[in-house]
Structure 1
Amino acid sequence: MIPLKPFAINVVFSEEAFYFYPLEDWRAENIGQMRKKSYGFTSEGEEIFQYTLKSVAGAEIEIITFGARITSCKVPDKNKRFKKVVLGFDSLSDYLKENPYFGAIVGRFGNRIANGTFSLDGKEYSLAQNNGGNHLHGGNKGFDNVIWEVDEANSSSNELKLSYFSYDMEEGYPGNLEVDVTYSLKNDNSLEVSYEAVTDKKTIVNLTQHSYFNLSGNFSEDILGHEVKINADKFLPVDQTQIPTGEIREVENTPFDFRKAKLIGENIEDENEQLKRSFGFDHCWILKKAENTAHFAASSYHKESGRLLEVFTTEPGVQFYSGNFLDGTLPQKGGKGTYTRRSGFCFETQHFPDSPNQRHFPSVELNPGEKFSSKTIFKFSVK
């Protein structure tokens, strides 16, 4: 008779269910008090891991090494009930399929580059035209579709450091680029995302975090009833292919005026050529900012739950996207339905789209010996 192995459990509570973990396995999966577990394998047999960050105030962020993606963000409402507020999937297999960058770190260049071409010092570079005739979010295999390495020695219960080495001419970009992204979950339930990058050859860099938020915690509910505020007097109009025209336009007397908080749905169906071209909001706002400090960029408030999201960044712009192309084909977490149109929104802090081809936009060039550095803070609270 085979003796039974002693067994003990930890019980983890959520608003939805009880979860039981063998105590021995729980301990084995902790790295500096941060929970780590296997999240599955790619078709090439490479193992993907999930890490869970926890704050003293109870927030939980789950991140996987595939695309350095945030797969879950659980924060409280005004009644101290915790729910998940970012769109995502239950399994790795769904992230491996084509999807709209749920929770991912986007690069080497976030947003669009016209015709998939740009020049540096007189040399032209060609990139994938993976968005109509334009280049989008790093190409066919951008940073959202690669495996990031975790620096476990420099990670803890509330901080996770991930790294990726992008080789010279990967997806058409020049230079070997070393990228570090650090997620830090603070005790006030703010998530700080810090980026650093260095190169051995002149290149371009524009990194962003691409989570979709729905502060209601109900992904079957659209986000049109969320209030949004954007700290910007100007935005960038786009052409029919969603490339900036080069014009810098005042938001005053347009649907793009979010200087005072208003509902996303208030003007989204207005008769406006820019709204028609993007099927809603999918534009870059030029932020009013203080140099070299993380300044207020945008906020969103969901009245029923009381959840408030405030975004602070060192970046000059934010792409506010109202989830116009979600179409009901992707499964929700927990098998509760699908993600329908405008069931989530994005605040993508970044440099401007098509910057390499528009010289009056802030530069995205990075030279050897320089360090790219950027920081964005997503602060969750209630009111």
Structure 2
Amino acid sequence: MKQVTISNPFITLIVLDYGAIIQKLLVKDDEGRYTNVVVGFDYPSQYHNDKASLGACIGRYAGRISKGGFTLDRKTYPLFNEKGVHLHGGKEGFSKKYWTIEEVHKGDEPFVRLSYFSKHLEEGYPGNLKVTVTYKISNNELHIIHEATTDFTTVVNLTNHSYFKLDNENGIDHYFLKLNCPKIVETHENLLPTGKLTPVKDTPYDFSSERQIGATRLDTPFATDDHSSFAAMVYSTKSGISMEVNTNQRGVVIYTPQHFPAICFETQNFPDAPNHPNFPSSVLRPSETYRNASIFKFDLVT
């Protein structure tokens, strides 16, 4: 397993070729000490047994797909599923693959670019898919850019699955959260979408005004507001570290796991879009390039 480190005066990033995983993301707290703001393992080999997709690239389709597959251009493609739910690209998905380190740049605005070639019908998806993910640091920002091209019409939805933890406390109840997301993608108990978007106003999902997370726990797809300067913002009152999330995607799945204190911001298309014509299209055709560009900006609150 290969490991790449890039850094600037604000951020140090450590990436693995396995799963294109962000192993560590070090930023400075309000006392100038480096804090690793993502949950991860100390030893790369430990990721082989990870079931939480810590820091990994998720694909070919991030999130859930219903009905055991999807129909595209009149052809049905069955997918691996458990109890009718296909999750995060299938039995393995991109998070369990070795990626190729294509380029490492350590000068101004350092970056690392990795690639993966997903063969036609891998996990049931049509088309030979060429995927790249670029991690770039610019001042106090981490840029994550997923791109993909195909030789046959397919569906694509990629995201990074880092669990953010902005301090060394044993909890996230004290975090303050603000979401420029006026609606959620309504889901059934198994977290598959119903097909409806519902307003967050006067619900536990309403973080349109900054407030403490408290006891609220989420595994929720939010619809972003195209007119806002950022999709989400979170900060810790203990470390003083804040993170702002900006994306060109129509959705962000916010996930607070039960078994450890952290919060995910999975910038992506809506779950199960291939089975909901009213959702933003996830279809990628041979003449097109898929692009998910997201920025995670770190700062200190006073």
Q: TM-score range by the shorter chain?
A: over 0.9
Q: Which runs of 5+ in 1 are unaligned?
A: 1-47, 269-279, 327-339
Q: How does 1:175-324 map to 2 (within 5 A)?
A: 175-187=127-139, 189-218=140-169, 221-265=170-214, 268=216, 280-290=217-227, 295-324=229-258
Matches of 2:106 and 2:120 in 1, distance apart? 32
Contact 1:295 1:313 in 2 (8 A): no
In the aligned structure 2, how far is the partner of 1:362 from the partner of 1:295? 20
- 1:240 deviates by 1.6
Question: CA separation in 1, counterparts of 2:79 and 2:281?
Answer: 19
Q: For the residues of structure 1 that align with 2:105 and 2:116, how far apart are their CA atoms?
A: 16
Q: Is the counterpart of residue 357 in structure 1 residue 294 in structure 2?
A: no
Structure 1 residue 156 displacement after superposition? 3.0
Counterpart code for 1:320: I
Distance in 1 between residues matched to 2:229 and 2:77, nearest whole Å: 34
- CA displacement, residues 102-147 of structure 1 (integer Å, 9 cap, x when unaligned): 00010000000013310101111111114x4200001111110001
Deviation per residue, 1:315-354 (Å, 9 max, x gap): 0000011113x2xxxxxxxxxxxxx3xx111000000000
Q: What is the distance in 1 between the residues matched to 2:37 and 2:288?
A: 36
Aligned with 2:41 (options 89, 95, 98): 89
1:181 aligns to what SS in structure 2?
strand
**1:54 alignment partner, one of 1, 4, 7:** 7
Q: Report the aligned-residue RMSD.
A: 1.4
Is contact 2:16-2:44 (8 Å) kept? Answer: no
> Quick check: 2:54–2:161 contact (8 Å CA) kept in 1?
yes
Higher share in helix: 1
> Cα deviations across residues 196-224 of structure 1 (Å, max 9, x unaligned)?
11000000000001000110134xx1112
Q: Tell whether the 8 Å contact from 1:213 to 1:344 is kept in structure 2 after alignment.
A: yes
| Distance in 1 between residues matched to 2:64 and 2:159, nearest whole Å | 13
Matching of residue 150 in structure 1 with residue 101 in structure 2: yes
Aligned residue type for 2:278? H
**Which residue identity does 1:196 align to in structure 2?**
E
SS of alignment partner, residue 67 of structure 2: helix
Contact 1:295 1:314 in 2 (8 A): no
* Contact preservation (8 Å) 2:268, 2:292: no
Higher share in strand: 2
Query: Higher Cα Rg: structure 1 or 2?
Result: 1
Partners of 1:265 and 1:303 in 2: how far apart?
13
CA contact (8 A) 2:273 2:279 kept: yes
Secondary structure at the residue paired with 2:146? strand
Q: Identity of aligned pairs, percent?
A: 40
1:377 aligns with 2:269: no
**Deviation, structure 1 residue 295:** 4.5
Displacement of 1:155 in angstroms is: 3.1
Query: Is the CA contact 2:7–2:106 (under 8 Å) kept in the aligned structure 1?
Result: no
Deviations 1:72-102 (A, max 9, x none): 1111111111111100112233210142000
Give the ranges of 4+ consecutive aligned residues of structure 1 lying more than 4 Å apart after TM superposition: none
1:120 aligned partner: 72
Q: For 1:362, what is the secondary structure of its paired residue?
A: coil
Look up the equivalent residue of 2:246 and give its one-letter code: F
Aligned length: 299
Structure 2: how far apart are the matches of 1:263 and 1:116?
38
1:303 alignment partner AA: T
SS of the equivalent of 1:197 reads strand
Classify the secondary structure of the residue corresponding to 1:308: strand
Q: CA deviation at 1:173?
A: 0.3
2:256 and 2:213 map into 1 onto residues whose CA distance is 8
CA distance, structure 2, for counterparts of residue 260 and residue 212 of structure 1 = 23
* Aligned partners of 1:230 and 1:298 also within 8 Å: yes
1:196 counterpart SS class: strand
> In structure 1, how many angstroms separate the alpha carbons of the residues matched to 2:183 and 2:254?
13
Cα distance in 2 between the residues matched to 1:185 and 1:370: 27
Q: 1 CA distance for matches of 2:15 and 2:297? A: 17
Residue pair 1:78, 1:382 contacting (<8 A) in 2 also: yes
Helix, strand or coil for the counterpart of 2:71? strand
Q: 1:360 corresponds to which letter in structure 2?
A: N
Q: Could you tell which deviates more after superposition, 194-203 or 85-94? A: 85-94
